[in-house]
Amino acid sequence: MLLCNLISIAIRVGAPRIVPTRGIPFPTGDPELVPEEERLLRRRLLERALEALGTAVEAPTVFDAPETPSGGGSAASSAATTAADSAATKAGAS
């Protein structure tokens, strides 16, 4: 499965299972977080990845980004989900 930031491109090239990341330069991290929180985020990304791997899909499917460990980034997280939702709807149509 694919952990990436540019969801629309991932959908366009047909990646079946996608989990959104916080930023292009750090797919499994976030330098804004303190180290313990970053590791926790990383763990949650990997757990979400396993969840995606265990889910049957028929077309490119975006799974929700994991919850923010704390503070900043929650807006980004829910924005990713929203974009993902409409993207997933479009993906269904294509």
Partner 1 sequence: MSATRVRDDEQGSRTGLRLLIHDVVEIGVGAQTGFAGGRLTVGEREATALFAHPSLASVRVSCCSPGESVRIIKVLDAVEPRCKGDGGDVFPGLLGTAQLRGRGETHVLRGAAVLSAGFLPRAQEAVFQMSGAGAEFSPLSGTHNVVIEFEPAPDAAWQDVAAALRLGVLRLAVHLAQAAVDAAPDSIEELEPLSSESSGLPRVAAVTNIQTQGAFKDVLVYGRSMAGSLPTWIDPCELADGAVVSAQYGHPALKNPTFVHQNNPVVAALRASDEVELAGVILCPEPVSEKEKRLVSEHAARLCAALGLDGAIVTKEGGGNADGDVALKLDALEDIGILAVGLFAEMAGRDGTAPGLVVAPARATALISTGNYDELVALGATDRALGGERLGIIDAAAADELELPIAAIYGSLNPLGWNRVTCAVEA
Partner 2 sequence: MRIVHYVNQFFAGVGGEEAAGTTPDVREGAVGPGRALVAQLGSEYEIVATVFCGDDYAASDASATEELLELVREASPDLLVAGPAFTSGRYGLACARLAAASVRAGIPAVAAMHPENPGVEEAAPAPVIESGKIGREMRASLQRLAGAIEKLARGEELGEQDGRVGRPPRHNRLADQTAATRSVELILARLAGDRERTEVLLPSFGSVTPSAPLEHPEGATIALLTEGALVPMGNPDRLESARATRWLRYPLDGLDRLEEGEYQSVHGGFSTVAANADPHRLLPLDVARDLEREGRIGTLHHEYLTTAGNGTQVATARSFGVEWAAELRQAGVQAAILTAT
Residues that bind partner 2 (CB under 8 A): 1-6, 10, 12-17, 21, 24-29, 31, 38-39, 42-43, 45-47, 49-50, 53-59
Q: Which of 10, 16, 15, 12 is nearest to 94 (CA)?
A: 12
How far apart are the C-alpha atoms of 14 and 33, rounded to whole Å?
Answer: 31
β-pair partners for 62:
18
Q: What is the dihedral of CA 36, 72, 10, 94, to 10 degrees?
A: 140
Range 23-62, binding partner 1 (CB under 8 A): none
Closest separation in Å from C-beta 50 to partner 2: 5
In the list partner 2, partner 1, none, the entry touching 56 (Cβ below 5 to 8 angstroms by class) is partner 2
Binding segment toward partner 1, per CB under 8 A, in 8-16, 19-27, 29-37, 53-61? 8-16
